[in-house]
Amino acid sequence: MSYGVWLSFFSYTIVTALSPGPNNILALNSTGNLGLKQSRKLLFGIYTGFLGVMAVCGVFSTVLVAMLPNILIYMKYLGVAYIVWLAYHVVISKPLEVTENENSPSFWKGFILQFVNVKIILWGITVFTSFVLTNYHSSISILGFILLLSLIGNGATYIWAVTGSAFSDLLKKYFRVSNIVMAALLLYSAVKLIFS
């Protein structure tokens, strides 16, 4: 890729990864309520699932592009339903004590979110079809981009998680307001998916 294409690639991937979305809002909410240590299972689930989705996008991108209209119809509404479900649970949640392990966010909640998270699926498909597959075709290149995209996406989620942890006391003090704002951002993501 030329310098200009690399610049476009990084502009698109980083800005989109840092924008509010299900992963980022869920990470912020979890670490704001529980801290980084108690949220590590959820974060690891997000990171692992994200890598899995990027692998699917990279390996099957040409097939998915051919099937895209059919897949997007179902994935879009499944993703919207899950995001709305998450928003509901964010808005009704209260700050948890560290001892309340039964309510701690789980690996599977973060992992499963990735496979219905239309934002990252579309992000991965867009990157592979617009930037990667037009310039690179080898298996090693595809694997490299899978890892690079996972690093960018998971890095953005980690930034939101650290932000939630850093502002933990403020988020706990004003948990109702912060939960409503975060739920509204999730609902905004869902609305954007419906009309995109």
Per this entry, what is the length of the chain?
196
pLDDT of residue 153: 95
pLDDT class for 102, splitting at 50, 70, 90?
Answer: very low
DSSP per-residue letters across the chain:
--HHHHHHHHHHHHHHHHS--HHHHHHHHHHHHHHHHHTHHHHHHHHHHHHHHHHHHHHSHHHHHHHHHHHHHHHHHHHHHHHHHHHHHHHH--PPPTT-GGGS--HHHHHHHHHH-HHHHHHHHHHIIIIITTT--SHHHHHHHHHHHHHHHHHHHHHHHHHHHHTHHHHHHTHHHHHHHHHHHHHHHHHHHHH-
pLDDT, mean of residues 51-71: 75
Contact yes or no for 168/97 (Cβ under 8 A)? no
Position 159 scores a pLDDT of 92
What are the tens digits of pLDDT across the range 3-14? 777 877 787 788
Q: What is the pTM of this model?
A: 0.72
How do residues 138-153 score in pLDDT, each as one tens digit? 889 999 999 999 999 9
Instruction: Please count the other Cβ atoms lying within 10 Å of the Cβ belonging to residue 97.
Output: 11
- What confidence score (pLDDT) does residue 152 get? 96
pLDDT of res. 98:
41
**Sequence-ordered list of residues with C-beta below 8 angstroms from that of 149, at least 6 positions apart, any chain:** 13, 54, 57, 58, 124, 127
Instruction: Decide if pLDDT at 32 tops 70.
Output: yes
Residue 99: predicted pLDDT:
40
Name the one residue in this structure whose structure tokens are 């219905």.
Answer: 116
Most confident of 10-24, 109-123, 161-175: 109-123
Q: Is the pLDDT of residue 89 over 80?
A: no
Q: Is 188 exposed, middle or buried (0-12, 13-18, 19+ CB in 10 A)?
A: middle
Q: Quote the pLDDT of residue 101.
A: 45
